Amino acid sequence: MILKKVKQDLDGLLENVKNYYPYLNEDVVDLNCTKKYYSTQAQNLKTPQEIVLFFEHIIMEFYDNHFSLNTNNNKSYRLSAPIHLTLRGNKVFIENVWISNIENLTTNILQAEVLAFNNVEFFRVIKEFPIQCANKKDSKVKEWIANKIIFGRYNQSRILKLKLKDNSIIEFDLDQLVIKKSTKLLSTKIIDNIGIITINNSLGNNELIADFDKVMDTLSNTNGLILDLRNTLSGGNTYVARGIMSRFVSLEKPYQKHSLFESYGHQPKIKRSFVEYVSPRGKHYKKPLVVLAGRWTGSMGEGLVIGLDGLERATIVGTEMRKLKGAVLTVPFKNFNFAYNMPAEKLLHINGTPREDFIPENYINQTEVSADTFLEKALFILKNQ
């Protein structure tokens, strides 16, 4: 009975991918291998925990961080880490650190080479990562796996063996980093009459708009504004994003393009695309605006960045963002009480650039953990405009 239910939901998932996943032809995903391998593995499933991990591993074959289950267990992989790794040739390095949201980092681990994870040579961990059909020799897949490894499983430690820039070797416990927590939806301060608004991972809370409006009124006489979106890890919704953008425009303007496929029954897939607009609201803030973005700017945070850039209303400072693909559709399994979130709609900058490919013009190469170079660059820009 379990086997029949699992296979039915496996077939349904892969059929939805085939019909609605807009990145299928861009990324090398072997659906035949996936169906064959996991159909065989389904015969060994006995417990609810094993079933969750089974579907989790299937979804990881797509190496897409926006494609996920809406449940987990203690053997599941986390969805993020406070550092980001980059592959250079046959080595892996710490490229970015969530410096704006870590309280206790004193060792400069930026640009450190990652040698091992939990006492296992790092490339061996990549090789043994539990997906079977994705090409682990592909650099894009390999870098995705490297970062998924340091996301770590909930029930495992995350001890990195690092070779620092000065060639010293250290062990670094990723779980000893203290991530800042805030009970406020946003935080504000003023430096040299420049307002700074930090969104505290609250773009999915509709009450943020009222708080944002109050802050905008108090900052109306500043010489410029910095909108810090580096802590929007969990994304949000377009209602909140449009509420924010609407305070910075005086005319209705397009800010984002959408692209998706429609198919009903066994009829052909038909591409659909449209442009979304934002309209002015409240008192228009006319002074210069700088937006801070980074590896922990996710989903709707990314949409807000490309939206303000497309509106030609802000200067963007930072790095690549979370690269979360498109807008997700939540699909419940027929036979189990959980669901999966699958990207079903591409989101693009108004100039046609996919959201996940956007890179700020004012790029920050992180080299030190002792200073906030993102904020320093933003203040420099505003003081010299």
pLDDT in tens, 31-41: 999 999 999 99
Using 50 as the pLDDT threshold, list the residues of the chain that sit under it.
none
Say what the pLDDT of residue 157 is: 97
Say what the pLDDT of residue 257 is: 97
Q: How far is CA 337 from the centre of its chain?
A: 26
Element (H, E) at 40: helix 31-41
Chain mean pLDDT for the chain:
95
Say what the pLDDT of residue 25 is: 78
CA–CA separation, 187 and 375 (whole Å): 15
DSSP assignment letter at 364: -
At 371, is the secondary structure helix, strand, or coil?
coil
CA–CA separation, 116 and 158 (whole Å): 10
CB 380 within 8 A of CB 371: no
Q: Determine whether 203 is exposed, middle or buried from the number of CB atoms within 10 Å of its CB (0-12, 13-18, 19+).
A: buried
With a threshold of 0.85, does the pTM exceed it? yes
Place of tokens 């890179």: 359
List pLDDT tens digits, range 153-168: 999 999 999 999 999 9
Query: Across the strands, what pairs with 163?
Result: 113, 169
Say what the pLDDT of residue 270 is: 87
